[in-house]
Amino acid sequence: MLRQPQSWAPGLFFPLLLAAVYSSQFSKAVDIAGFPFQNVSFLDFVLPACVIQGVLFGSTNSASDLAADIENSFMDRLLVSPVSRASILLARLASAFMYGVVQAGILITIFLIFGANIAGGLPSMISIVLIAALLAVSIGSFGIAIALRTGSQEVVQSTFPLIFVAIFVSSAFFPVQLMEGWYGSIAQKNPLTWIIDPTRRMAIVGFSWKDLGQSLGIISAIASLGIGISIRQLRRRLARAQ
């Protein structure tokens, strides 16, 4: 992170730009009939989504670094050294987690400085950071699987638009109740909506174990799948290396 600020700076810049713009452009949207929260600013509404967006934008960094290690043969050197194979994967996942914690912490601090309010206080803040960091791990694990499979940084980075699409076709920037037609239906079925909605309730309404459980449960399911695929790809690569 210290050597390559260009890898994480966009993950801070774009969510902050969107939050600044949307909170001014759509400030009156909270008055639309059917808006799910009353007496709330649009900045409060988009806070959890922007934190999750920022962390997701950076979630491919660990995978991209792994792909770079494969491209420049560092991975081969790692494999002939007496290190545990599991630690190769765990180190990348831990890196994604730490990256998520730092970035979510920075984003929440900046939001609070600019007047956002987190109704649940410290428990909600910690929950949002935890949710964002674990989501970075779960989405990052799919990137790691792709990196292990292809060994190409370019391919890993090309998954970025998919993350972008997944965020926009969810309740991240507008409530699904106010979306129309097939777009609203897809957004309702998007797992990111099921994560963002309870996280948002914890920020706007207050901390709740039920909401935290719902978010973490869905993230765990996604992470199990992603890590499972990563382990399979790691075994495949190890078998090829022998």
Q: Catalog residues that contact another protein under the rule CB under 8 A.
A: 6, 10, 13-14, 17-18, 20-21, 24-29, 31-34, 161, 164-165, 168-169, 173-174, 178-181, 183-184, 187
Q: Rounded distance, CA 104 to CA 51, Å? A: 6
Q: Rounded distance, CA 69 to CA 81, Å? A: 14
Contact predicate 224/203, CB 8 Å: no
Contact predicate 127/202, CB 8 Å: yes
Provide, rounded to whole angstroms, the least separation between the CB of residue 20 and another protein. 7
- What separation in angstroms does the CA of 173 have from each of 16, 35, 40, 204? 13, 12, 14, 15
Provide, rounded to whole angstroms, the least separation between the CB of residue 78 and another protein. 27
Provide, rounded to whole angstroms, the least separation between the CB of residue 114 and another protein. 11
User: Closest CB to another protein among 131 and 167?
Assistant: 167
Provide, rounded to whole angstroms, the least separation between the CB of residue 215 and another protein. 21
User: Closest CB to another protein among 183 and 209?
Assistant: 183
**Token pair 């709330």 in the structure block, residue:** 40
User: Closest CB to another protein among 80 and 180?
Assistant: 180
Provide, rounded to whole angstroms, the least separation between the CB of residue 199 and another protein. 18
User: Closest CB to another protein among 18 and 145?
Assistant: 18
- What separation in angstroms does the CA of 127 have from each of 50, 88, 103, 119, 153? 15, 28, 14, 12, 32
